[in-house]
Amino acid sequence: MTAVADAAPTPASSPADSDLVRAARGLPVRRTPVWFMRQAGRSLPEYRALRAGTRMLEACQDPDLVTEITLQPVRRHGVDAAILFSDIVLPLVVAGVDIDIKPGVGPVIAQPVRTVADVDALPPLEPDRLAFLATAVRRLVAELGTTPLIGFAGAPFTLATYLIEGGPSKEHARTKAFMYAEPEAWGRLLDRLAVSAATFLTTQVDAGASAVQLFDSWAGVLSAADYAERVLPHSRAVFDALGDRDVPRIHFGVGTGELLPLIGDAGADVVGVDWRVPLDEAARRVGPQRSLQGNLDPAALLADRATVDREVRRVVQQGRAARGHVFNLGHGVLPETDPGVLTSVVDLVHELTTR
């Protein structure tokens, strides 16, 4: 428990002193920080208005749109962090892979990676093509003041699922078949994806992002043994590429209950947890040396207010078992969510946890 002598200073003097960064490092906080995965996006009418007529992947490369869309949920909800408006497939798009994000579907790849030759033909990401990204991040950091900006990238495994399946899938069977049948090419593919994810992340951090999140959304389809052997080393390589850049590292996947200790071992300060494992149990699995992020079921936000309140209180209470707790959903905001409910969740978490 936090000793009085450790009490956090108020208010934050910089993003590095924000509650998000402090909770991620296991330091005392003023109140539990809260943000939402997919907070920038389709649940907001102001987002839909701004995006009208611009394709998703074009919007992601326009610094004016990126800045404004990233700021919208911060203004509206008073969340404790901004997350860059972008997408996990953007590094591939910028490198020249033919990808479209189809509304209501997700990323669709024109020529999926199906052979060893396809792996070797993937174009590398040239860092100087990310100037738009650095511009957007610098602008955002200037606008955000002491509110931290979270930079992010897709982890090698989750990006590989899109490349190999050709689009979203449930079982990721082709991906796993390739992993088992072509272990060397698999290793090369994930190496390459790790390099481009690292370039994408370091660009954001060097332009001023205060924390990073590596999304390995679909890693939960793997056994712990396969994850440890065939995936984790590549995710670790992404974190290692950050070198001595002193920003907290958040690592998240869905359905990772069996993988939680490994998700931490890949190099995270904060392990993201979905709604399937309560945070007190997640804290036991992850251990006392890392913080937790999560884990309200996004579907609970579609229920009545009393249910939302009860679920928020439960997550806050269970989160007290963790070294540090960043309140979030267990996955992204569902598009049909009432934005007013999101704002009330922020207020309730703050009210329940103000020191």
Ligand X SMILES: Cc1c2[nH]c(c1CCC(=O)O)Cc1[nH]c(c(CCC(=O)O)c1C)Cc1[nH]c(c(CCC(=O)O)c1C)Cc1[nH]c(c(C)c1CCC(=O)O)C2
Q: Which residues make Cβ contacts (< 8 Å) with residue 148, sequence separation at least 6?
A: 15, 16, 18, 20, 21, 80, 81, 82, 209, 210, 211
* Sign of CA pseudo-dihedral 14, 20, 25, 27: positive
Q: Name the minimum Å distance from CB 106 to ligand X.
A: 3
Question: What are the contacts of 272-276 at 24+ separation with CB within 8 A?
Answer: 272/213, 272/328, 273/330, 274/220, 274/330, 274/331, 275/300, 275/329, 275/330, 275/331, 276/330
**Residue 152 interacts with ligand X (CB under 6 A)?**
yes
DSSP 3-state percent helix, strand, coil across the chain (nearest 5):
50, 10, 40
# binding residues, ligand X (CB under 6 A): 24
**Residue 37 interacts with ligand X (CB under 6 A)?**
yes
Instruction: Select from 291, 281, 286, 284 the least CA-distant residue to 328.
Output: 291
Out of 17, 25, 42, 62, which one is annotated catalytic? 42
Out of 38, 76, 284, 314, which one is annotated catalytic? 38
41 is in an annotated binding site: yes
Instruction: Select from 355, 351, 344 the least CA-distant residue to 36.
Output: 344
| 265 in active site | no
Determine which residue in the list 21, 34, 56, 94 makes contact with ligand X, applying CB under 6 A: 56
CA 119 to chain centre: 26
**Residue 101 interacts with ligand X (CB under 6 A)?**
yes
30 is in an annotated binding site: no
217 is in an annotated binding site: yes
Give the SS3 label for residue 294. strand
What is the rounded CA–CA span in Å between residue 81 and residue 76? 12
**Residue 217 interacts with ligand X (CB under 6 A)?**
yes
Nearer to ligand X, 85 or 200 (CB): 85
What is the rounded CA–CA span in Å between residue 213 and residue 195? 16
Determine which residue in the list 16, 17, 42, 242 makes contact with ligand X, applying CB under 6 A: 42
Q: How many other C-beta atoms are found inside a 10 Å radius of the C-beta of residue 6?
A: 9
Piece in contact with ligand X (CB under 6 A), picked from 104-112, 262-270, 276-284, 310-318: 104-112
| 290 in active site | no
| 191 in active site | no
- The two three-digit tokens of residue 138, written as one number: 């610098």
Out of 22, 30, 31, 51, which one is annotated catalytic? 51
Determine which residue in the list 68, 85, 109, 256 makes contact with ligand X, applying CB under 6 A: 85
What is the rounded CA–CA span in Å between residue 209 and residue 142? 11
Determine which residue in the list 65, 76, 95, 106 makes contact with ligand X, applying CB under 6 A: 106
**Residue 166 interacts with ligand X (CB under 6 A)?**
no
| 245 in active site | no
Out of 19, 22, 80, 87, which one is annotated catalytic? 87
Distance between start and end Cα atoms, the chain: 13
| 162 in active site | yes
Q: Name the minimum Å distance from CB 188 to ligand X.
A: 22
Determine which residue in the list 20, 83, 198, 221 makes contact with ligand X, applying CB under 6 A: 83
340 is in an annotated binding site: no
Residues that bind ligand X (CB under 6 A): 37-42, 51, 56, 83, 85-88, 101, 103-107, 152, 168, 215, 217, 332
Q: Which residues are annotated as a binding site for substrate?
A: 38-42, 87, 162, 217, 331
| Residues designated catalytic | 38, 42, 51, 87, 162
